Structure 1
Amino acid sequence: MRACAVGTFAASVPLAIYAATASTRLRQLGVTAPGATIALAGGILAAGSLGLSGLICWAMSRPEVVVDDGLIRALYYLVFLTGGVGHIVALGLLLAGIAVPSLLLGLLPRTLAWVGLAIAVLAELATLVLIWPESAVVLPIARLTGFVWLIVVGALLPKRRTDRQRA
């Protein structure tokens, strides 16, 4: 349990760095619309909720906490809400903040930008988990596809606007 908590918390740091880097790159590429700021805000919120989830999970691993069933149940729900719904919805903002300007300015292949936007919409739909818990199946789908999309975008987003125009 503690190893999972530490891993979850540690994973939040590269996500925050990615968000800051992607936001800066979008601005360097001429994005003046709110997309770059939305990407930064979404990434920071996603990283923060993931980090908080890891810290709460770490607290759950403490011997003095394990003995209280009510406390463990409450902390479990907080881990689920911060690391699940909260993280995924914020991740959707990061994805949309990159996908929309990339689509409008031609920074990425159109298909890739549309896929990112679709994943962002799916991530935002994770809010429904709060009123319809059975829809939680969307959480791992949005998380996995979102992170794969971010990796691909990290490799394909041009360093300079002229790089994309020449291609």
Structure 2
Amino acid sequence: MAGMGNGVADAAAMGLAMAVIAPLLALYFSGRVAKIVRVLARHPALVLTAFVFEHAALIAAMTGYWSPAWLTGLLRISLVVIAVAFWLPVVDRNGLGDAARIVYLFIAGPLLDLPALYLIASGRSAAGIAMIVTMLPIPLAAVTAVYSWMRREERDAIELQRLRESPS
């Protein structure tokens, strides 16, 4: 496991950076960089694609014998930046709509787990499982988005029913 150091700790740290720290940074920056959020919300597929490929490139660099330390460091920094960009349209009120947010998150979860599956398949099971577990906030965010959308729709339907039944 050349270049990976303590595989479990590295994988867990990467998962936490992508699924916990990045959304917190996105929440912090969402009101401050509204123009960037609008651009990212219009192109979420590109952001997700960049995030998936950057994540896979970092895993390849960390597990390969070919990667210089400076490249791995640069990839680690860019992973956090792209992860924040990934979360900005999700956490911003003017970002993605409910349906788009849900689809975005449900697609992202399995795609971002592919490098973890590579770790498992290459004999680094503990590191792969650690990465998957620490990235569980992504599918949990998707489930939360479904639930909040469902509650909002139910509330709107009840309000509409009340308006129809009330005497004018």
Q: Give yes or no for TM over 0.5.
A: no
Query: Greater helix share, 1 or 2?
Result: 1
The two structures have a TM-score, normalised by structure 2, of 0.35
TM-score normalised to the size of structure 1? 0.35
> Which of these two proteins has the greater Rg computed from alpha carbons?
2
